[in-house]
Structure formats: structure tokens, C-alpha cells
Structure 1
Amino acid sequence: FDSLCLTKAASIHSSKMSRGGIRFGDLLHFGEFKEKFARMARNKEKRFQEFDFHVDVDAEVERYAEYAKKLENVIIDTVYELNNWAQQGQRILVEGANATMLDIDFGTYPYVTSSNASIGGAVTGLGLAANKIECVIGVVKAYTTRVGAGPFPTELLGEDGERLQKEGHEVGTTTQRARRCGWLDTVVVRYTSMINGFKDLNLTKLDTLSIFDTIKIGVGYTYNGKPLPSFPSHLDVLSKVEVEYIELPGW
């Protein structure tokens, strides 16, 4: 998995999917929490014994006991809280943490995060019905960026890519790695708009492109000499496409 350049969140999500994970609400039932934590620690030690992995269960439980005291008044059932707000007509603003192309289902798998970063993540993550969502606003940079490995058809290699990275201060929020940079890819924008149902599109960081006399925008893909009607679902195809560009004067 190291070749995927992950943020190391997969192990947390795997605990959730295997039904062995611990949730914040467990801190309110601390006796049960201690049993779950000890069981999880034993399982992890057994799984990673070749790395001489060991958990001081007593010390960790003591640390979490302090967390429980500090957090007990702010741990609530957010599903009912959010739905009550919605029923009262209050406005709820939800911001996604990752781009749709990192979505575990619809992104450039396996070069993705471990959760749903598309509009579906708002529904499954918050417990709000899909029909409660009134407006979806897409946010896209005036150029394209990516952290880590994976296909990137409009990537700018060499000096221009480095200039764009420095001018845009493009560094990964979690990893602090320099982001790969390239021209805006409207094939990706159309694909993500289809999935999320954008009502509006917010284009950001136009000023960063001021360093270029000519600006390119990717508007289509060809594969084996033939135009592709949509964003390819197969990674091998995506890695071999040729991009059709339009060129516009800078400002």
C-alpha cells in the first residue's frame, strides 16, 4: 500500500468495516469501552506480532478516561440533532474534506481515500435524508492538483508544474507533501458534476494563473485515437489518454 501514497487512514476505516472499531459514544459507557479497547488491542498485537507491536492497555484506558470526563457534555446523538434543526427550518452548511476524485467508490481507485468524499458522504455521514439537501455547490480550482500517486492526464511536468505549485502554495494539508499541479480538466469537472448534482460551481484561485501568458483547459480525452464520450472507469485507460486542450490568453 505504500505505493499508493496514503494518509494512513485506511486502518481506522478497516476497524469500522470489520465492526471492531470504537466510537465517541462508547466513552459514555466506559465499562464497555474498556472491554472493547482491550479486545481490540489484543487483536492488533496478534495481527502485528512480527513488528513487536504492544499496547499498554492500562495506560491507554487511563488516558481515555480523562478524555471521557472532558467530552461527556459535548457527545450527543448528532443524527437527531441535525434532523431537528432541519425540521425547524434552520440552514445547515456541510463542507466535504476531500475531492470527489478521492471518493472510495467513484474516484481513481485505488488511489483514493477510505471514505465517500462525494455528496453521498453527506447523507451517510450525517444521517440526513437525501431529499433534505437543497443545494449542492461544486468548488474547483482554476487548475488541477493531486497529492501522491495516481493518473493525472493534465499534469504539468517540469518547470511550469513547479511554478504553479509554488505560486499556489500547493502543499497537502495532512501529508505536507508538494501537490502535483496541472491544467484545469473539464472532463473531471463534468464527471463530478454528474455524480454530485452541482447547482452552482465556485471557481477558485484564478489569480494563481496570472504567472502564465497562455492558459490551457482540458476539454476532452482520446484513447487509441478515438474520442472518449465520458470519464473512463478503468485506470489503465485513464493513464493512457491524450488530452484535447483549448488555449486562452492570460491576463
Structure 2
Amino acid sequence: MDIVLGLQWGDEGKGKFIDLISEYYDITARFNGGSNAGHSIERNGKRITLKMIPSGIFMKEVQNLIGTGTVLDPVSFKKEILNLQIFDGIIQPEQNIIISRKAHLVMPTHKLLDVFMEENPDYTTIGTTKNGIAQAYSNKILRQNLRVGDIYTQDFESRAKHILQRDYKMLAAGDMVLPPLEEITKEFFDAIEFLKKFNCTETEIYLNHALAEGKKILAEGSQAAMLDIDHGTYPYVTSSSTTAAGACSGLGISPKKMGEIYGIAKAYCTRVGNGAFPTELFDELGEEIRIKGNEFGSNTGRPRRTGWLDLPALKYAVMINGVTQLVLTKADVLSGLESVAICTHYELEDGTVETVSGTLSDNTRPVLKWMQGWNADFTNMKDHSELPKELKDFLSFLEAELKIPVGYLSIGPGREEILKMK
């Protein structure tokens, strides 16, 4: 099993890379997160954002699996499937999407609870997507939630209605403006009937049998390492494990069966929502990068914060995931700048220096290394030998610092605009 992970705060271009290499695999499998993800893919001049559906969906011979470690919103899933069929009428998702019976459900009231907590001053506001993901995971841990397999039981309707009525009553007591309970209940159960069209099974058994038969699996992570619930910049993190270890637990596959671990990172950094961001740019250059790189959330449309590449955080992400190859994206966005910067280490308030760090604060001071910028027309570039010297120097510096090779370099938004470096 090979794994594709984001190494920063998300939006690194995982979907495009998975779309590119998924044809070499038999199965692509999502192992964490829910509809708070947003993998943007461009095909035939059109762009689509996949939320729950794995990014290998456009490959006819590839099975796409939604694993046990995910949380599935039936309403959002139904909308995404219908949108996918409009985008590409040839795709038959009911034939090549497999869903874990042990994946947990996101209830309609989970999303309302998410909004309530984000807007209530009694709680810490962290800037979530308000898709109910944290509520679903928290109820999973509390052992109060329903799973996909439960939709086939005789008492599912009564259990689901009990949860909806309980949550709705609590929200109404908090003076929250709510949609009619009957409306969200009907929409939910309609989506459940739609969900039953898909193959829901014990996916850990399915995957391990596939490996025993010699099939190749690509595990697809959503969010990114610095948003991991355990190892990220808490509390401004996601609600699941986004690491290579999370791929094993989220899919039920032994760590002994891991192969290549592809880590995706931008040539600069972005972040959505709150949380420390030592290299953030607040000037016109930051805005220029945002506009040129189209740095707006693929799931929410929110403008992303932009900043220089953070090497200590990147080293940390490489370390905890055991990354074997770096996939660097958006090198083209920085083209035309006279010079570019990389944060090589932090200077902390007590005078100490950190060169590898997973703990950040608003008082972390970045120390920048400036390098000569590059100016190139990447439009018709087909081989890494055509890259400008300044960009090659930038890549060589990263390889030396991270002690892993840059295996791929993205030089444009299209799926074909990725150079294989080795």
C-alpha cells in the first residue's frame, strides 16, 4: 500500500497528484475525514471538487473506497454523486465506489451543532468548515453515534430519529434559529435510501484480501499533517488522524504493508482558518501569491492565508510520516519573483532555536533564507532538465535539508502539468 499525504495545512494539491498516478493502482482508498475535505481536479478544461469521493474516480478500472476512519454525511454524499454525474456522464459511481460499514455517519444536527459552537462565545472558535465533522467524531468517541452498517438494521429509523430529536431540542433551548426538524429529517432519510445503492461492506477484509491477491492500493489522505488531531497545531486542527499511521488504522491495514509514502507540499505555505502561521505574509506580495495561486478554499471559497515555505514544520511532517518522496506543487506561482524565501529555523522568546518543530505559537519568529527567484515559461515544459537553474537550486536545497528526493514537481494546474524528477 502506498500513501499520499499533505505535509502542510492542506490544499497542497493532493487530488491532482492522486488523479495522475491512480491509473497505476487497483484501488484508491480514503482513510480519514469527511465532507470537510476538498480535492480539486481539472479534466478536459473543467474543474470539480471532490469531498468524500476518492480522487481515482475518473479511472474506469479503479475501485474507490471510503474507509472505516472516515465520517460520511449521506446528504452531502448524495449531492456530490449527482454533481459528479453532471460533470462526467460516463462515470458509474455505483459500480466503483465501496463504503465501509464501520464508517460513522454525520447527522444533520451535527452540522447545526458545529455552527452553534463556532458562533457561541462559550466555546473556542477555530474556523471550522461547519460540516459537522468534529461532532460526528466526538459522538463516535462517546459511543453515541450511528455507523453506515446500522442503516440496514430494523431499528435504524427509530435510533436516528431519537438522535435528531435530542440534538434539535438541545439546540432550540440555546435560542438557535433552526430549519424545520421535519425538513432535515426527510432529507436525511432520502439520502440514506440513496446510500443503499452502493456496496457497503467490511472494507478492511476487502483491502487485505486485495493485497493478498497482489493488487495495488493507494491510500488517500484528506487535510494534512499539520492539522492532525494529535500531532498538528492544536486546537486549530481537524478531528481525525491525517498521518501515515492514520492510514493504517483508518483502513485496517498493517504498517508492515506500507510502501511509498508521497508527501505533498507547496513551494510556499497557505492556511485556512485560525492558528499560528510563522511565515505568513500580510503585504501586497501575500495577496499577489493568493491571487496568482488561486488560493481560495475549494470547499468553502474562503481566502487562504499565504506565506513563505516553513522548513521546520515541513521537516517535522516528513519525520512523523516517514515520507519517502516529496511532491512539490505550485512552483509556477512563484515564477517571476526576484527572490524567494524559505524559513530555515525559528528563534523563540527564550533565545532557543528550533530547526524541526510541530509546536508553533504566535510568538514564533521565523528566520528566512533568501534565494534567487526564477522566471520561466512552464507552458510547454516536458522534462525536468528544462527547469531554470534557480529552481533546480531551490529543489536541491530542499532535498539536502529534508534528506528525501523531490520525486515530482507540479508546474501548472492541469493533471498533465507534473514533471517526474527521477
**TM-score scaled to structure 2, two decimals?**
0.55
Report how far residue 42 of structure 1 moved. Answer: 2.7
Counterpart of 2:110?
none
Take 2:188 and 2:341, find their aligned partners in 1: how far apart are those partners?
A: 55
Pick from 164, 177, 196 the counterpart of residue 321 of structure 2.
Answer: 196
User: After superposition, where does 1:69-218 map in structure 2 within 5 Å?
Assistant: 69-71=196-198, 74-218=199-343
What residue in structure 1 maps to residue 353 of structure 2?
227
1:15 corresponding residue in structure 2: 139
Which residue is 1:28 aligned to?
152
The SS at the match of 2:219 is coil
Q: Tell me by how many angstroms 1:69 deviates.
A: 4.5
Q: Is the 8 A contact 2:229 2:238 kept in 1?
A: yes
Unaligned runs of 5+ in 2: 1-116, 119-124, 375-422
2-structure distance, mates of 1:22, 1:211: 52
Q: Partner letter of residue 134 of structure 2?
A: A
The higher-RCO structure (CA 8 Å, 6+ apart) is 2
Q: Distance in 1 between matches of 2:345 and 2:264?
A: 20
The code of the aligned residue for 2:354 comes to L
Letter in 2 for 1:175: T
Residue identity in the other structure for 2:242: A
Q: Does residue 240 of the first structure (1) align with residue 363 of the second (2)? A: yes
Instruction: Indicate conservation of the 8 Å contact 1:103/1:116, yes or no.
Output: yes
Give the direction of change, closer, same or farther, for the CA distance of 1:217–1:200 in structure 2 (3 Å limit): same
1:6 to 128, 146, 150: 128
Residues 14, 156 of structure 1: alpha-carbon distance in 2 compared, 3 angstrom cutoff: same
**What whole-Å deviation, never above 9, does each CA across 1:23-70 have from its counterpart, x for those lacking one?**
2222222x2211220221232123223237563287357525532552
What SS does the aligned partner of 1:7 have?
coil
Q: 1:69, 1:196 → 2: CA distance?
A: 35
2:194 alignment partner, one of 67, 76, 90: 67
Cα distance change of structure 1 residues 47 and 90 upon mapping to structure 2, 3 Å threshold: same
- How far apart are 1:211 and its partner, in Å? 3.3
Q: 1:230, CA displacement in angstroms?
A: 3.2
The structural deviation recorded for 1:197 is 0.4
Matched residues in 1 for 2:347 and 2:326: separation? 26
* Aligned AA (2:302): R
When the two structures are aligned, how many residues end up with a matched partner?
245
Amino acid at match of 1:228: E
Find 1:42's aligned residue among 142, 165, 182. Answer: 165
* Greater share of residues in helix: 1
Deviation of residue 10 (structure 1)? 1.4
**Matched residues, percent identical?**
37
Other structure's SS at 2:220 match: coil
Shift of 1:183: 0.6
Structure 1 residues not aligned, in runs of 5+ = none
Moved more, 75-84 or 222-231: 222-231
The one-letter amino acid of 1:231's match is S
CA contact (8 A) 1:217 1:246 kept: yes
Give distance in 2, aligned partners of 1:160 and 1:59: 48
Paired with 1:166 and 1:139, the residues of 2 have a C-alpha distance of 21
Runs of 4+ in 1 over 4 A off after TM superposition: none
1:39–1:154 Cα change, 3 Å: same
Equivalent-residue separation in structure 2 for 1:65 and 1:11 (angstroms)? 19
Amino acid at match of 2:149: G
Separation in 2, partners of 1:245, 1:65:
52
- Residue 120 of structure 1 and its aligned partner are, at CA, apart by 2.1
Q: Is the 8 A contact 2:265 2:327 kept in 1?
A: yes
Contact 1:28 1:68 in 2 (8 A): no
Query: Per the alignment, do residues 243 and 59 of structure 1 end up closer, same or farther by CA in structure 2, a change over 3 Å counting?
Result: closer
Q: State the distance in 1 between where 2:300 and 2:135 align.
A: 16
SS at match of 2:140: helix
Structure-1 separation of matches of 2:191 and 2:326: 43
Bigger CA drift: 12-21 or 137-146?
A: 12-21
One-letter identity of the residue aligned with 1:145: T
